[in-house]
Amino acid sequence: MNIPPIIKGLLLINIAAYIIDELFGNQLSLIFGLYYFAHPNFGIWQLFTYMFMHGGFMHLFFNMFALWMFGRIMEQTWGPKKMIIYYLICGLGAGLTQELGQSIGLIEPYARTIGASGAVYGILLAFGMTYPNERLFVIPIPFPIKAKYFVGFYAALELMECLTMKDGVAHAAHLGGMLFGALLIILWKRKASRNSYYQGQSFWSQTTTYDSYDKGEDSFFDKLTGMFKNKKPKGPKMTVSYGNRQADYKYNEEKKKNDEEIDRILDKVRRGGYSCLTEDEKKTLFDASKR
């Protein structure tokens, strides 16, 4: 299965860091794990490095499985630049939230935090916000549930456990990753609404690319193709006009050329996603949809 570049890179870095940490007797985790800011071992770099350290094979496995499962879809949706920004912001936000939880006494002070869970929870939230009606099969539940309910359940569970449990799990970091992820998505949505000339279209339809997932309805590419299905002639159409045959021929030639350009752009969307289009190609689609 094709894994997009950012997710593939994150998987490899996390796995390599775990193997090296194990070979050196977990000394890397002691250096790069996130300490409470008042701890003598605290370093500002730990707010980024902690998310690449893991405390055991199962800890690594479940985080990487969720990163692969949901992260590859979000990278196909957003593209690599947004994906890496989003991942790091969620991880940073998770670390800051964990620090805050320790400072107010919600978490035992001077606890060391490691793991990609905060960033992964942010990706889970992004999937739920982008594809809320996508149905997921979750073991051991015998029936599919919609992504928005799955994400909502996990958020509520993490909040409850953060307030009541003292199990050594960074529940505050999980919530922080989801919170910072939600804020970043809202910021992107507002920015897209202001800057895009695709007025009247939602943020999601401007950024979602074609793959096998959708929001419970038709896929983005199906919708995009449908915009032009009834606008294009089924074949070359010659208008019978004895008064101006040359003008009719020129009109049909131009229309055929325009239709071929639309087909080329739609095929490009199908292969690489909407985000790979140039501004001129996006404008061509937009103008054609208005005709």
What region does 25 belong to: left with phi over 0, alpha with psi -120 to 50, or beta? left
Q: Which tokens in the block code for residue 118?
A: 């905060």
**Cα 182–Cα 188–Cα 192 angle in degrees, nearest 5:** 145
Q: Which amino acid is at 64?
A: M
Domains and their CATH numbers in the chain: 5-195 (1.20.1540.10), 219-290 (no CATH)
CA atoms within 13 A on the CB side of 173: 27
Q: Which tokens in the block code for residue 124?
A: 């889970």
pLDDT digits (tens, 9 = 90+) for 110-152: 678 999 999 999 999 999 999 999 888 777 777 888 989 989 9
**Contacts with 245 (C-beta within 8 Å, 6 or more apart), sequence order:** none
pLDDT digits (tens, 9 = 90+) for 37-84: 989 999 999 999 999 999 999 999 999 999 999 999 999 999 999 999
The β-bridge relationship of strands 145-146 and 135-136 is antiparallel
pTM above 0.85, yes or no: no
Mean pLDDT of all residues in 155-161: 87
Residue 75, pLDDT score: 95
Mean pLDDT of all residues in 203-208: 47
Q: Which tokens in the block code for residue 43?
A: 């370093």
